[in-house]
């Protein structure tokens, strides 16, 4: 399927391997003996003239990452046939996004989180108008951010803080009342760098 120029640019940029680019994750925060749990997220892009990307905010009562902004996603289940299936299944469970209306356009490099997950970002275009129904057990709220804003490196700020006794660098960005930071912002920063590099060439 052919999309507008903005989405086609993203598709080409994320499918062009360029190992000269700086790729950052949180692997330096993980002990060498820790086993990483495989997981996947869906970066869901709306197929419209001004494409937006869907994000969620986790409930405050969850044990891990409470209240944080995230892409729909989760760990790989035994019944998942491939990593894309994980991302699509989780998006359906969290937001009722039907996998048949998602056109996967890129599978990105794994991101190692400090909490011990090996996360594969799956980029997909929502090809059909959706009636999103958030699962209250996993989603406090959901919102959309213009793709042009999310992947603009000028909107992503690199910060540092002390975490578990060592200095940690992380990315942070603000969209209206939502703070996007940590793993989610780190993944966005890596993709934004790759997209910017493709645009420069």
Neighbouring C-beta atoms of residue 60, cutoff 10 Å: 9
Could you tell me the CATH superfamily of domain 5-154+186-196?
Nucleoside Triphosphate Pyrophosphohydrolase (3.90.79.10)
For the cut 60, the answer to whether the pLDDT of residue 72 exceeds it is: yes
Q: What secondary structure, in 3-state letters, does 94-107 show?
A: HHCCCHHHEEEEEE
Give 200 or 165, the one with higher predicted confidence: 165
d(CA 89, CA 185) in angstroms, rounded, equals 22
The residue length of the chain stands at 201
d(CA 13, CA 65) in angstroms, rounded, equals 30
Res 48: pLDDT: 87
**Is pTM, for the whole model, over 0.75?**
yes
Res 65: pLDDT: 56
d(CA 14, CA 188) in angstroms, rounded, equals 12
Half-sphere exposure of 6 (CA within 13 A, CB side): 17
Confidence grade of residue 66 (pLDDT, cut at 50, 70, 90): low
Confidence grade of residue 126 (pLDDT, cut at 50, 70, 90): very high
pLDDT tens digits, residue range 94-125? 999 999 999 999 999 899 888 889 999 999 99
d(CA 126, CA 17) in angstroms, rounded, equals 24
- 167 forms beta bridges with 162
Is residue 126 within 8 A of residue 101, CB to CB? The reply is yes
Res 17: pLDDT: 63
Res 2: pLDDT: 63
For residue 128 the two structure tokens come to 């059909």
For the cut 70, the answer to whether the pLDDT of residue 89 exceeds it is: yes
Which of 32-46, 80-94, 116-130 has the weakest average pLDDT? 32-46
Q: Is the dihedral of CA 53, 14, 192, 170 positive or negative?
A: positive
Is residue 105 within 8 A of residue 88, CB to CB? The reply is no
Three-state SS for 52?
A: strand
- 173 forms beta bridges with 180
For the cut 90, the answer to whether the pLDDT of residue 197 exceeds it is: no
Mean pLDDT value across residues 21-35: 64
Three-state SS for 113?
A: coil
């Amino acid at each position: 399927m052919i999309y507008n120029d903005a989405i086609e640019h993203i598709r080409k940029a994320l499918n062009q391997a360029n190992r000269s680019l700086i790729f950052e994750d949180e692997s330096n925060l993980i002990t060498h003996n820790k086993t990483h749990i495989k997981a996947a997220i869906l970066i869901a892009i709306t197929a419209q003239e001004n494409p937006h990307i869907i994000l969620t905010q986790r409930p405050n009562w969850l044990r891990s990452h409470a209240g944080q902004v995230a892409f729909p996603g989760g760990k790989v289940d035994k019944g998942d046939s491939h990593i894309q299936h994980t991302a699509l299944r989780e998006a359906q469970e969290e937001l009722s996004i039907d996998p048949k209306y998602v056109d996967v356009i890129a599978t990105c490099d794994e991101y190692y989180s400090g909490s011990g997950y090996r996360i594969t970002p799956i980029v997909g275009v929502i090809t059909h108008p959706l009636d999103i129904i958030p699962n209250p057990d996993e989603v406090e709220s959901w919102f959309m951010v213009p793709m042009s804003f999310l992947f603009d490196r000028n909107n992503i700020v690199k910060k540092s803080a002390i975490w578990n006794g060592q200095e940690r660098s992380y990315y942070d960005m603000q969209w209206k009342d939502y703070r996007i930071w940590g793993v989610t912002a780190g993944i966005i920063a890596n993709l934004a760098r790759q997209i910017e590099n493709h645009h420069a060439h």
